[in-house]
Amino acid sequence: MRSRARLSRAILSVFRRWEKYFSNTSKILPTIRYFSAAHISFFAAAIVITIVASLLLKNRSAKAVRISLIVCACLVVFNYAFLQLWRVWAYADGRAKGILDKVAYIMMPNEILPFQLCSMLCYIIPAAVILKKRWLYDAVAPICIMGGFLFFFYPTGIIDRYPPFSFRVLESMFQHTVILFFGVFLYASRQAKMQLKTIHRPMLFLLGIGAIAIAANLVFGTVDDGVNFFYIRKNILGLNIPFALNALLMAAVAAVFFFLVLGVQMLFGVLAARIGKKRGTVPADAPESLDEVPPAENEWDE
């Protein structure tokens, strides 16, 4: 009991230190402007970390690849859970002044419900790692890349709202770097492969979770000044576009992004084939199913 009490006090102490830091820095430091040096630095750091980590881990054993995916799943889950505790106990978007306010804050759907794309990925990534299905990896990989890339390209609601190096900025950068890495690493490690004949997998999967986001927007649209899951209720750029048209626009953007991923992967495939030909080796294609990988290559499927 004493150890639990000490742990609780330690956790609350961390939250309060972050809260004190935030309250002090928010009065001193300005927010980051879009496409400023700080914004580009965060973006570049995420890209470099993703590429370097993928290159270092892609040719490891099947067990090492599996462990890497499990670590990613654990990181997004724990980070997201810690974020919710932070929102309620430490900052709570400026609304938590007492325990009753904290309880009321939990009920605010715009802040707590996991219906934004990358919030959903915090649940989808662990499910994909647990199930180990090729079609699910094929569906999730480009969505992770899209979610991570678009966040760093236009991190609305984060860098324009919170001071640099505050908890919220660092947490978001970390979370989306892991999400971006997960998608890229699935391709680099041959756990997933984008093909013209399988491009319908991420499209259908995104339409499925998008339908959930649309329903959540309709249900909670008049609560807490209006939710904006997937940024389809209100255009992310502030354009005055009807709800239905904005949803179609976001779907078109996703389709274009998936074809770009397909094009980039095909380009890298051609380059790898040429390099392999010069070296006298030919890169192997990804199997259609993880179950088709020989036991010695994929021992975790047993």
> pLDDT by residue (tens digit) across 71-92?
999 999 999 988 877 776 655 5
Domain membership of residue 196 (yes or no) is yes
Domain membership of residue 103 as a residue range = 10-301
Domain membership of residue 4 (yes or no) is no
Domain membership of residue 44 (yes or no) is yes
Q: Residue 298: what pLDDT?
A: 41
Domain membership of residue 1 (yes or no) is no
Query: What does the pLDDT average to over 109-116?
Result: 75
Whole-model pTM: value is: 0.81
Domain count, the chain: 1
CB 175 within 8 A of CB 118: yes
Q: Residue 292: what pLDDT?
A: 41
Burial class (CB in 10 A: 0-12, 13-18, 19+), 184: buried
Domain membership of residue 5 (yes or no) is no
Helix axes 200-219, 243-279, angle to 10 degrees: 150
Q: Residue 295: what pLDDT?
A: 36
Domain membership of residue 132 (yes or no) is yes
pLDDT band, residue 291 (cuts 50/70/90) = very low
Q: Residue 119: what pLDDT?
A: 92
pLDDT band, residue 177 (cuts 50/70/90) = very high
Burial 57-78 (b: 16+ CB within 10 A, else e): bbeeebeebbebbeebbebbee
Percent of the chain whose pLDDT exceeds 70:
73
Domain membership of residue 131 (yes or no) is yes
Contacts of 92 (CB under 8 A, 6+ apart): 101, 102, 105
Domain membership of residue 223 (yes or no) is yes
Lowest mean pLDDT, pick from 31-35, 120-124, 127-131, 214-218: 31-35
pLDDT at residue 109 above 90?
no
